[in-house]
Amino acid sequence: MQRIFSSPWTPEEYAATEAHRQILPDSVCPSCAQPTPLHRHGHYPRWVVSVLGALMRLWIARFLCPLCRRTISYLPDFALTYRLLGPDSFAAYLDGRHERPEVQSWWTLLGTYRRRFEAFGGELIRTVGAGLGLAPPLLSQGLWPWIKRAGDSLATVTRQLVTTFKVGLLRRYQCHQPAGP
């Protein structure tokens, strides 16, 4: 399972301080919802694009629940599930901030994110409804303004979508679903 946590670190700080070693897991298993200490269970690499447009390799911490035996990885919320570019870069792209280095360098890839976002928008609206504290938009053109109004940043809103509604910004993923009964 994948958990998205509020990262106090930028990607650069995360890499420089080996932040994956400092992450404290939840005291309640995110998968089976039982109170239990989660055990460290190694880490794995993944790539992210920095705000300067450079590829960076980060280590992602993984834990094991002794009760349900599921592994839970802790993804910092500056990253999007299975995507190279994070929510901050995607928000800058959607806002047309073409001057940002990573938006320029990764324009084509960000365009595929936008198409995915728009294609998934209807399902996202049906899943969340008014759950973001705002009336959902009626038209797909209202999708981005709706998401944008729902929190301080796209990272915050995406984390809320995954944590509360078990749905990603661009897709529904098996790794966000808790274990069945």
Which residues of the chain form contacts with Zn ion (CB under 5 A)?
29, 31-32, 65, 67-68
- CB nearer to Zn ion: give 31 or 160: 31
Which is closer to Zn ion, CB of 31 or CB of 73? 31
Q: How far is the CB of 46 from Zn ion (least distance, A)?
A: 23
Pairing of strands 55-64, 2-5: unpaired
Residues 6 or more apart whose Cβ sits within 8 Å of residue 114: 93, 94
Nearest-approach distance from CB 55 to Zn ion, in angstroms: 33
Task: Judge whether 13 and 7 are in contact, CB under 8 Å.
Answer: no
Question: At 22, phi and psi to the nearest 5?
Answer: -100, -5
Contacts of 95 (CB under 8 A, 6+ apart): none
If the CB atoms of residues 115 and 166 are measured against Zn ion, the closer one turns out to be: 166
CB-wise, 39 or 126, nearer to Zn ion? 39
CB of 71 to Zn ion, least distance (A): 10
Least distance to Zn ion from the beta carbon of 38, Å? 8
Q: Are the CB atoms for 50 and 102 separated by under 8 Å?
A: yes
